[in-house]
Amino acid sequence: MPISRIGPGPALYRGRFAPSPTGPLHLGSLVAALGSYLDARTHNGIWLLRMEDIDPPRIQPGAASAILRSLEAHGFTWDEAIVWQSQRQAAYAEALARLRQTERVYACTCSRKDISRNARLGADGPVYPGTCRRHQHQSPHAAFRFFAPNAPIAFTDRLQGRVVCDLGRDLGDFVLRRADGVYSYQLAVVVDDAAQGITHIVRGSDLLVSTPRQIALQKALGLTTPTYLHLPVLLDAAGDKLSKQTLAAPLNNADPLPALLMAMRFLGQSDSHPPATLSEFWPWATARWSPHRLPRWRGAPLHAPTTPHSLSYP
């Protein structure tokens, strides 16, 4: 049975912004919101919001409503009802059950310690060594892992170009549901992007390492793969991604224009006549948006010169 759709039928362009409510919106998340929004609007597309409130220990009370207030104060408008991942357990359970039927999944009882003792380091932390692959554990306290496919996963990112990933070697069998019953980000995103009919994903390059896992799941579930554009992410002075964890300053809802202009400049979309008011900002930004101008780096500090394609990656 296909994943049931939320909302109306197919559109040519359906994009989304999918924040995790682990803290208020900051300049780094504004860059991703703005990039996905302008790309959707300039394609006459639909733009949706999804609240990724799936991982209870990481969620901060009040953060989801703070994010929504901030988006509104900055002039974002979204189409259709917000999807809350905390209410989508049944859909994730169904997808996991389908994958289990096709024997793409196995139960894993390894502790974090077991794994770090035996694993080598891959693209996103330790690569699970496959210890439980043949055990067929029945424990109710097991995690579920997806067998990484043997064939490489390849896709062409609209900005980063061709990406090829050997999942088995670089990332290993990944978790679909943790031992505490929480569904993984990888599974939830794939199920929800399909349910919301997302055709174009524009998000930060910090998630580029997740995309091959998501494509592998889409294939296993018989879902269409959307197109991807992974934007540069804003780095702090130490070279780390600006994030709620690094306590990036929240946006100032009382004065939204400076942050929006900074985000446009960071994305290489500015010109010599920036608008003076929020209401002038949106038509200007929509007219200005051109993915060809995006700098191709994956991460940069705010005041890096934003000459397009001045850095290239293999």
Using an 8 Å Cβ cutoff, are 264 and 34 in contact?
yes
Q: How far apart are CA 207 and CA 295, in angstroms?
A: 17
Nearer to ligand GLU, 19 or 172 (CB): 19
DSSP letter assigned to residue 276:
S
Q: How far is the CB of 54 from ligand GLU (least distance, A)?
A: 9
In the shown chain, the binding pattern of residues 20 to 39 toward ligand GLU, with x for contact by CB under 6 A and - for none, equals x-------------------
User: Total number of residues binding ligand GLU (CB under 6 A)?
Assistant: 7
Single out the residue of 145, 203, 213, 230 in contact with ligand GLU (rule: CB under 6 A). Answer: 203
Contact 5, 198 (CB under 8 A): no
How far does CA 264 lie from the centroid of its chain?
Answer: 20
Q: Does 215 bind ligand GLU (CB under 6 A)?
A: no
The distance of closest approach from Cβ of residue 142 to Zn ion in the complex, given in angstroms and rounded to an integer, is 8
* Residue 52 binds ligand GLU (CB under 6 A): yes
Which of residues 14 and 288 has its CB atom nearest to ligand GLU in the complex?
14
Residue closer to ligand GLU (CB basis): 166 or 206: 206
Report the residue from 38, 105, 189, 216 that binds ligand GLU according to the rule CB under 6 A: 189
Single out the residue of 173, 166, 176, 150 nearest to residue 212, CA to CA: 166
Contacted by 189, from ligand GLU, Zn ion, none: CB < 5 to 8 Å by type:
ligand GLU
- In the chain, the amino acid numbered 163 is V
Comparing CA positions, the residue from 277, 202, 255 lying closest to residue 232 is 202
Contact of 51 with 236, CB cutoff 8 Å: no
> Given candidates 48, 49, 159, 207, which one binds ligand GLU under the rule CB under 6 A?
207
Quote the least distance from Cβ 52 to ligand GLU, whole Å.
Answer: 4
From Zn ion, ligand GLU, none, interface partner of 203 (C-beta below 5 to 8 A by class): ligand GLU
CB of 213 to Zn ion, least distance (A): 18
Structure tokens belonging to residue 54: 């799936």
Residue 244, interface with ligand GLU (CB under 6 A)?
no
Instruction: Report the interface residues with Zn ion, using CB under 5 A.
Output: 108, 110, 131-132
Measured CA distances, 1 to 4, 24, 91, 194, 221 (Å): 8, 38, 11, 13, 10
Residue with Cβ nearer ligand GLU (186 or 306):
186
User: Which residues, 6 or more positions from 227, have their beta carbon under 8 angstroms from its beta carbon?
Assistant: 158, 199, 200, 201
Segment contacting ligand GLU by CB under 6 A, of 12-20, 94-102, 123-131, 224-232: 12-20
Q: Give me the least distance between CB of 73 and ligand GLU, in Å please.
A: 19
Phi, psi of 35, rounded to the nearest 5 degrees: -60, -45
Q: How far is CA 97 from CA 35, 136, 146, in A?
A: 35, 15, 12
Residue 110 binds which one of Zn ion, ligand GLU, none, with CB within 5 to 8 A depending on kind? Answer: Zn ion
- Closest to 224 (Cα-Cα) out of 232, 234, 214: 214
Token pair listed for 147: 């067998």
Q: Which CB sits closer to Zn ion, 16 or 145?
A: 145
Structure tokens at 130: 């496959």
Q: Decide if residue 19 touches ligand GLU (CB under 6 A).
A: yes
State the residues that interact with ligand GLU by CB under 6 A. 18-20, 52, 189, 203, 207
